[in-house]
Amino acid sequence: MEHKQHKLKTEMATKLRDALEQVSDERSFVEFLAHLATDWFTEAEIEATTPSSPYSSGALGWENGSIGSFLEASCAWANASTKGLKYYTSSENPWRRAADILMAGKIYE
């Protein structure tokens, strides 16, 4: 079971990262949102049957399980990264920047 979950986690992460990297306009942003939603719902299904420790991220890496905590983390990361970070250069494309902000909401604490 653990190998199956690891494979799923890798596949989901790859699809989500690929969708993020393709964001350049409204259509690609909406496609990214669809992948992000699928990632969240897939994790919710996994967590319903095999919950992760309450002290770690979820099975697919979600740190923020509620819409409130997700939006709060997205906002905090957006404010912290306005001028870029050590491993992040802020995109000049507003669609990509918005996608980066939402992606960060998944993992930022």
Q: Is 88 helix (H, G, I), strand (E, B) or coil?
A: strand
pLDDT at residue 68, as a whole number: 97
Distances (CA, A) of 62 to 6, 15, 28, 50, 82: 15, 15, 22, 15, 22
Q: Is 54 helix (H, G, I), strand (E, B) or coil?
A: coil
Query: Residue 1: pLDDT above 60?
Result: no
The pTM (predicted TM-score) of the whole model is 0.89
Tens of pLDDT along 44-86? 999 999 899 988 999 999 999 899 999 999 999 999 998 878 8
Query: Residue 97: pLDDT above 80?
Result: yes
pLDDT at residue 86, as a whole number: 84
Tens of pLDDT along 12-47? 999 999 999 999 999 999 999 999 999 999 999 999
pLDDT at residue 32, as a whole number: 98
Separation CA 69–CA 64 (nearest Å): 5
Q: Burial of 64 by CB count in 10 Å (0-12 exposed, 13-18 middle, 19+ buried)?
A: buried
Separation CA 66–CA 85 (nearest Å): 26
Separation CA 108–CA 77 (nearest Å): 7
User: Strand pairing partners for 88?
Assistant: 85
